[in-house]
Structures are given as C-alpha cells and as structure tokens.
Structure 1
C-alpha cells in the first residue's frame, strides 16, 4: 500500500487483485495510444537542460509553456473520454476508488462503497476522484503499461 497526501488529506492505495487489474487494463487500453504524445511532451518539458553557464537548470513546467499546444495534445484524450460509454467510465472510477482509503484521525476509511457504487465522502469532488483514479491506474497497471510501451529489449532465454 502506498500513502500520499493530496490537498489536505492523506490517502492510501490498496492492491487490485489480478482480475481487477485485467478488467481495468481492458477498459483503459483504448486510451493509451491517445496518452503517449501527452506523456512524451510532459517528459520532454520536465527534463533538465544546461544553462548558458553550463549549470543544470529546470525547464518550464508543462502547464507554464504553450497552453495551446498542450490543449491540442490533450484533445484526443478528451474526445476518447467523451466517447467512452457510461458503463466503462463508471467501471474505471469505481474499480479505482474501491481500493482507496482516506485517513481520518488515526483511522482509515474506504473512499468508495463498492456494493452501492457511491462515494463515502461528500467533500470529494470529481477532480479529486480523477486524480485518485489516475494514481491507482499508474500504480496498479504501471509496470504492465511500461512493459507494453517499451517492449522486452533483453528477453531471457
């Protein structure tokens, strides 16, 4: 389980079982080709470069540069989400949020009630739910997606 702060709250992500990972990857897979240019742009814009004096300096953050270009990159992703059937979108959110817990005092409480498909906290808005879902997808499917994107360069015999 990983713990992290988001806003003023602390969350932790549990593990999706193998079948949840499989079904989630099937639902997310059509979005991956749309995200590759975004990931490449974000990686490129966050890479450090050498300044005039030879010292390493940071480049601008992805959102501080050309917003028009970033919007253009995100358009296929936004179109993909808009075209996604409601059932698929709800499956992705409920599966992801179903393994997230929020710290309240010294105790942890589930963010999502999986049997009723409802958020357990009134103050969690869609923006925060999306951030949590992306975090779950990244942690749960990250190794699989990285392997799919990079391939096996040195397969073992």
Structure 2
C-alpha cells in the first residue's frame, strides 16, 4: 500500500509540473496627446483587457472600423475649422458619424460581454502596465481614462516565454 501511495504521489508531481502552462510577461506604456506644449502624457487609470482570440478575429474587427471613422471625423472637424464644408461633404460626415456611433456601440457590447477567460489590468501613474499571461493569441483592448473612453485594440501572439512589449498611444485624432 505504501508503494502504491508513493508511486501515485510521484506521478502526480511529475504530471502537474509538466501540465502547468508557461506564462509570459506582457508589458507596455499607454499615453495620450495632451496638447502642443506638453505633448504626450501617461494615460493613468486606463483599463487594459487581454481577451483570448482566434486568427479569424483579426480579419473583420469592429475596433479597426471604429478607429477608421474616429480618424476620418476628427480630421474632417479640423479641416472644417479652416474650410467651410460643402453640403455634400456635410452629408458624408453625417453618414460617417452614424457609422462611428454604430461601431462605438458594437465595441461597447464586445467589452461588456468579456468572458471570465479575459485578463485585466490597469495603467499605473507612469503609464505602464504589466501582466503575466499563458501562451496564445490575444486581443488587447485599451480603454483610455483621459480621452473620453476612446478604445484601441491590437492582436499579439505570445509564444515561447519571450517578453512582449505592446505600447498604445491615443493621439490627437
């Protein structure tokens, strides 16, 4: 009986040491554009989500489309300060504003429906975040605390315990 317990205990130790997933450190800096005088600042308090992803998630992603419409509309607003837009241009801006709102709602729903498999951390006072994650493909979603809740995302593959740096900048546009 003692032999059986000894063999069972040893085999459990061996199998548990091999079955533990390797973890890799993912870290980065999150900044936002403050103004022309100061430039970029640490986006303290921003939330960073790490959601396990599939390769197909990278193809049709609502965060990319949201970012496209944000940049388009912000650049249109900057241009409108100096050149009065035509009626046709105003109609185009209205359509793109509707698209922006649609993708903003879609990304909000995606964030609200984040599963328990998702990892979460926040940005410290120096703009840094750091987390240990198992190997795999992740979608990183950052929600700015200083840019009216703007969202950015990026896909990153974590393999072979190689530390990964992923920085985010919420720029002017």
Give the structure with higher Rg (CA): 2
Asked if Structure 1 and Structure 2 have the same fold, meaning a TM-score greater than 0.5 normalized by the shorter chain, the answer is: no
Compute the TM-score of the two structures, normalised by the length of structure 1. Answer: 0.35
Decide which structure has greater helix share: 1
Compute the TM-score of the two structures, normalised by the length of structure 2. Answer: 0.33
Decide which structure has greater strand share: 2
